[in-house]
Structure 1
Amino acid sequence: MSFLGSSTRDAPGETGIGEPGSSESAPLLINGSAPVRVKGASFASSVFNMMNAIMGSGILGLAYSMASTGIVFFCILLTTVSTLASYSIHLLLKLCDQTGMNSYEDLGGRAFQKPGKALVGITIIIQNVGAMSSYLFILKSELPAAIQGFMEADGTGHAWYEDGRVVLIIVTLCVVVPLAMLTKIGFLGYSSSFAAFCVLYFVVVVVVKKWSIPCPLPQNVTTLSYSCQVSNSTDSECTPKLFIISSKSAFAIPTMAFSFLCHTSVLPIYCELDKPTKSKMQNVTNVSISLTFLLYLISAVFGYLTFYNHVESELLLSYDMYLPHDIMVMMVRLAILCSVLLTVPLIQFPARKSVTMLLFEGRPFSWVIHVTTTLFILGVVLLLAIFVPDIRQMFGVVGSTTSSCLLFVFPGTLYLKINNRSFRTFDCIGALILVVFGLIMGFLSLSVIVMSWTTTS
């Protein structure tokens, strides 16, 4: 029997991911212990939690990725990244079985002592800060349009809700900060199923609206009427491309890596699973990634077939010019915003845990440290969301560096180190391939992104 099958559950007052005051690094009990049987999360609940950890603002950038790579090339890349993401989780789960550890940081410490633990912790902080920044960027871009859609037009054109920065600051202070201040994350899991259905509604609307916008696209219009001017587009612009390789293609893999990254949440979900075993958690992972893959693919295909080369880096912005007051678009915008808004405080927890682990390890829980760390992280995130001008930059930089490390490089490297680099097994060979793939993709993507910035500046 797996050691996780005889583990104890978090005691009252403890959190699933090791907040201050909990046994964040305590190894799970090995066979022969006297476990306290407490019913954990069901399989379906764990799938929803996993999907919520996977899905986020990344789904809004996949149509742009398809426009930059072509349909066939995009499908190949998406399949490759999702398969490797599932395999890297397999390696992490196997390491948990071998070592009895229940956190990503502790696995880094087991392999490379304190430097390894610090490296993994810092990477988690950077990645989660980048993720939260991109989520707040979505809120800054979409909240003003969502509010305007349900309110009377302001005669002066200077209403406060038309400024995305003002709206973002208000929402952050009123919603994100109070939720992020909580010391427990258990109840936030109840929003996972709601968030999944919000994304499902988004995909349905993208499919339906494919037949509401003509091709060639109207030019400089606010409504789709027969009197609108049509751009001088050729018929070739309405023909989907199968393979595209250009400098813009460099954003595709980082965006996909960012969209499938859930590795900082895998082990907490594993620990909370009812009667957890490695095979059961692997099934949760496979089902979650498969469903997410399907939603990603459908939204990307129909988003691309709606706008072709004119798709925006953030898909919902593409609908504003052509369907500015469509009720379905306004509702899907609210659905996505609700999903994104509830995700920000959720992924802030592992970032804060890593900060307190690196700076205040061994200290008892302190509200001063808790509040100060939370406000500092959210302050940095808010500044990035306000001043980063294009979401592609956030996806590109974060995806090509920290996401590639957490998704590809670290799982493979930790597995090889803990297993003494033995290449006699399939998993060790697969781990090496995972490391090489992650390094190559991260380096090439980041290089092309930097070069594109220098040529456009």
Structure 2
Amino acid sequence: MDGNYLVILVSATIILPLALMRQLGYLGYSSGFSLTCMVFFLVAVIYKKFQVPCPLLSTSANITSNSSLGEGTPPLGETFSSDSCTPNYFTLNIQTAYTIPIMAFAFVCHPEVLPIYTELKDPSRRKMQHISNLSIAVMYVMYFLAALFGYLTFYGSWLRHVVIAVSLLTCINLLVIFAPNILGIFGIIGATSAPCLIFIFPAIFYFRIVPTEREPAKSTPKILALCFAVLGFLMMTMSLSFIIIDWVSGTSRSGGSH
């Protein structure tokens, strides 16, 4: 089956019904299944690391199965340089601009905190903190291992939410099908949404919500909140600038490492 048709089929039959559910409690089984899929992916990545030889001899089968590698794949019969088999513990180049946005995007969970809190049987701050710590720790371990061995409320107006869900899925599917490189998509989304959700919005909300009678505008917590927001703006500007420079220079298409 063509990959594009598979994306549309999975989105229409699995993702869309899950997106239309009224309560998050019903997503427990599907979340467990998705976590199982992530564990399977992690095991597959670790297993393949020890199965694929290095340097890798490029054959016709490898070229067929790895055609998405583009210009980074050597000609038929040639081998990769032995330098490519030596891990780089730290790499700093133009494509490093994609690293922070993608990592931040992978750990953006702020919008789900309040809905999950309302779904708890006996909600409390301590219990929610424990859930957050455990969830982020598990995801960090899985992301870290995968990266290491691979070098992640409807009410009455239901019609409006259905239209929004279908529109979002349609746009996402179009991006998946027609985008030549998903790295750029993750870079742009991570560089814009992650700083807003992690740095800018929480700091601005704190500054606006906490009354001045309780904490004046020039108090230390509010000044730190503004500094936090400024840091988010700086990260967003820096990441977007490097990504745009990378696109204009074309280094992302030349097979550079990152």
TM-score (norm 1): 0.46
The correspondence of residues 281-296 of structure 1 with structure 2, limited to 5 A, is: 281-296=128-143
**Alignment equivalent of 1:423, drawn from 192, 196, 219:** 219
1:442 to 198, 217, 236: 236
Structure 1 residues 48-78: Cα deviation after superposition (integer angstroms, max 9, x where no partner): xxxxxxxxxxxxxxxxxxxxxxxxxxxxxxx
Distance 1:371 1:220 in 2: 48
The 4+ residue runs of structure 1 with deviation greater than 6 A are none
| 1:214 partner SS | coil
What amino acid is the match of 1:392? Answer: L
Structure 2 residue 1 is the aligned partner of structure 1 residue 196: no
Separation of aligned partners in 2, 1:370 and 1:416? 31
| Kept in 2: contact 1:416–1:422 (CA 8 A) | no
Structure 1 residues 168 and 236: CA distance shift in structure 2, 3 A = closer
**How many angstroms apart in 1 are the aligned matches of 2:135 and 2:27?**
18
1:72-221 alignment runs, 5 A limit = 161=1, 163-221=2-60
Aligned-residue offset at 1:443: 0.9
Change (3 A) 1:236 1:172: closer
Q: CA RMSD in A?
A: 2.6
Report the equivalent of 1:406: 197
TM-score, normalised via structure 2 length: 0.79
Query: Per the alignment, in what secondary structure is the counterpart of residue 222 of structure 1?
Result: helix
Alpha-carbon deviations, 1:258-286, whole Å to 9, x = none?
Answer: 10011110111122223222232122211
Structure 2 unaligned segments of length 5 or more: list them: 63-75, 254-258
Could you tell me whether the CA contact under 8 Å between 1:412 and 1:431 is conserved in 2?
A: yes
Q: Which residue, 242, 255, 258 being the options, matches 2:102?
A: 255
Render the CA deviation track for 1:270-310: whole Å, top value 9, x for unaligned. Answer: 22223222232122211211121111111111112xxxxxx
> How far apart, in 2, do the equivalents of 1:191 and 1:380 lie?
23
Kept in 2, the 8 Å contact 1:216–1:230? The answer is no
Tell me by how many angstroms 1:402 deviates.
1.5
Question: For residue 79 of structure 2, what is the aligned residue in structure 1?
Answer: 231
Give the count of matched residue pairs: 233
Indicate how the Cα distance of structure 1 residues 200 and 173 shifts in structure 2: closer, same or farther if over 3 A, else same: closer
Q: CA separation in 1, counterparts of 2:23 and 2:145?
A: 35
Give, as a single letter, the amino acid of the residue that structure 2 aligns with 1:268. P
3-state DSSP of counterpart to 1:183: coil
Change (3 A) 1:396 1:213: same
The change in CA–CA distance for 1:282 and 1:433 in structure 2 (over 3 A counts) is: farther
For 1:389, the equivalent position in structure 2 comes to 180
Q: Letter of the aligned partner of 1:434 in structure 2?
A: F
Q: Give the residue type in structure 2 aligned to 1:301.
A: L
Determine the C-alpha separation between the residues in 2 that align with 1:368 and 1:280.
Answer: 35
Q: Superposed, which structure 2 residues align to 1:235-314 within 5 Å?
A: 235-304=82-151
For residues 193 and 29 of structure 2, the distance between their equivalents in structure 1, rounded to whole angstroms, comes to 28
Q: How much has 1:434 moved relative to structure 2?
A: 3.1
Cα distance change, pair 207–407 in 1 and its aligned pair in 2 (3 A): same
- What is the CA–CA distance in structure 2 between the aligned matches of 1:403 and 1:183, rounded to whole Å? 26
| Contiguous gaps of at least 5 residues in structure 1 | 1-160, 305-339, 341-348, 354-363
